[in-house]
Amino acid sequence: MTQTMIEATDIAMALGEGAGRVDALKSINLSLTGGELTLLMGPSGSGKTTLLSVLGCMLSPTGGSVQIRGRSTTGLDAEQLAQVRRDNVGFVFQSYHLFPTLTAAENVRLALDVRGERSPAARLKAEDALATVGLSHKAKAFPRALSGGEQQRVAVARAIVGDASVILADEPTAALDSENGQAVMTVLAEIAKDPARAMFIVTHDPRIMPFADRILRIEDGRIVGDQRRSANISAVRTLKYAS
């Protein structure tokens, strides 16, 4: 049975004030369930990243509410929102945002360190996460010694190491070539099969559409399309990416 990880109800987000005010999100209703990889696509300025920020508890919406695993985030202050992120959300960013002075394993462990997990068990969890993304052999490598695709896979390992129930990715393949993009998406799609996790990816990249279980389209701050893909299409998604 699938579980709802994020429930966004009637989300509105206004940015700026007075004449410069922009309604970035308008009446967004959305729920993300475990075991599902959801893509959010839309043109630049349509509100994709703003929606990702709201779902990831980085921005508080000006209207509506967000619930993460049944817990409302309305009215929480910055510290409480940070705790919600720490306990429930894993992020993957377009430009990786790895720490250049830390090794791959240390970058992954950082996500546990901020949660106060510094035991040998934390070290093992980080090793497991790196194994999941196929980078056990690069554990001691610094980011500068890794390719873009490998850096992004380390970022994915950092996002999953804390058993986040929601993985939010912002253009994870935008800075990668086809081969590396496919490698990253294959890893993300595999992780998304876990029914205890919902995966939400903001993208411009049509090559990753075959990996999606569900595709949302956003324009001018409104969801204008919500399409679920069949099991058959999912089965051939890797081939489609290559083409």
Partner 1 sequence: MPPNRANYYIVRIAANANAAMVRSRLAASLSDAEVLTSEEFRHRTRVFWLFDTGAGAALLGSAILGIIVGTIIVAQTLYSSTKDHLKEFATLRAIGSSCRYILKVILAQALISAVVGFSIAAAIDLALVKMTSDAALPIVMTPELTVGLFGLTVVMCAIAAIAAIRVVTRIDPVLVFAQ
Cβ-Cβ contacts under 8 Å for 18 (sequence gap 6 or more): none
- CA 207 to CA 213: how far, in whole Å? 14
* From 52-60, 118-126, 128-136, 219-227, span contacting partner 1 (CB under 8 A): 52-60
- 3-class DSSP assignment, residue 139: coil
Question: Interface with partner 1 includes 94 (CB under 8 A)?
Answer: yes
Where helices occur in the chain by DSSP H, the ranges are: 48-55, 78-88, 104-113, 120-132, 148-160, 178-192, 231-235, 237-242
Task: Report 113-152 residues binding partner 1 (CB under 8 A).
Answer: 114-115
Question: Residue 76, class by beta-carbon neighbours within 10 Å (0-12 exposed, 13-18 middle, 19+ buried)?
Answer: middle
Q: Which residue from 89, 183, 201, 218 is in contact with partner 1, where contact means CB under 8 A?
A: 89
Nearer to partner 1 (CB atom), residue 2 or residue 80: 80
| Residue 49 near partner 1 by CB under 8 A | yes
- Interface residue with partner 1, options 93, 148, 205, 217 (CB under 8 A): 93
By CB under 8 A, tell whether 87 contacts partner 1: yes
CB of 243 to partner 1, least distance (A): 29
* Residue selected from 30, 64, 85, 199 as contacting partner 1 according to rule CB under 8 A: 85
For helices 120-132 and 104-113, what crossing angle results, to 10°? 120
DSSP-derived letter for residue 229 is: P
- Minimum CB distance to partner 1 smaller for 32 or for 57: 57
Could you count the other beta carbons within 10 Å of the beta carbon of residue 173? 27
- What track of x and - describes contact with partner 1 for positions 147 through 186 (by CB under 8 A)? -----------x-----------x----------------
Residues 95 and 82: their CA atoms lie apart, in Å, by 21
Does 97 sit near partner 1 (CB under 8 A)? yes
Quick note: the x/- pattern for partner 1 over 22-41, rule CB under 8 A, is: --------------------
The minimum distance between CB 20 and partner 1, in angstroms, equals 17
Told to check if 95 binds partner 1 by CB under 8 A, we report yes
Q: Any idea which residue has 């475990």 for tokens?
A: 34
Phi-psi region of 134 (alpha: psi -120 to 50; beta: other; left: phi over 0): left
Residues found near partner 1 in the complex (CB under 8 A): 49, 52-53, 56, 58-59, 78-79, 82-87, 89-91, 93-95, 97, 99, 110-111, 114-115, 158, 170
